[in-house]
Amino acid sequence: MSNKINPAKEKLIVNYIKKIDTAIDNYNSAIETDNEIFDLLIEIINVFEKDIPDLRCSLLIRTGTEIKDANTTKALLIMFLANNEIEYKEKHTEKNIKEKRF
């Protein structure tokens, strides 16, 4: 995978990573079903089926594995960027900055 990916695909991947972060931040297992996160992950699996074939077999997609599967997907997307010589730099949100101060 030494070929560089195009800027549009890079932007798509970064947007999916942000969606995963938002889904994890908003997830509350006590009051929500796992469908929102799993729907997003299945969408990502389908979109990147040819680019990241290991993605499908790396996820369990079962109740109780939502956060693990989301983090695995995020890591594989970041690794895909790295394999294409693109460094993903996570932007710190105001919420993250406030939490780190305590």
> Would residue 96 count as lying in a domain?
yes
Total count of domains within the chain: 1
Would the pLDDT of 79 be above 80? Answer: yes
Q: Greatest CA separation found in the chain?
A: 44
> Would residue 80 count as lying in a domain?
yes
> Would residue 1 count as lying in a domain?
no
- C-alpha distances in angstroms, 46 versus 49, 50, 53? 5, 9, 10
> Would residue 93 count as lying in a domain?
yes
**Cβ atoms within 10 Å, residue 78:** 17
pTM: 0.83
Q: Which structural domain range is residue 26 located in?
A: 7-101
Q: Convert the pLDDT of each residue in 9-21 to its tens digit.
A: 999 999 999 999 9
Q: What is the pLDDT of residue 1?
A: 43
User: Are 45 and 59 spatial neighbours (Cβ–Cβ below 8 Å)?
Assistant: yes
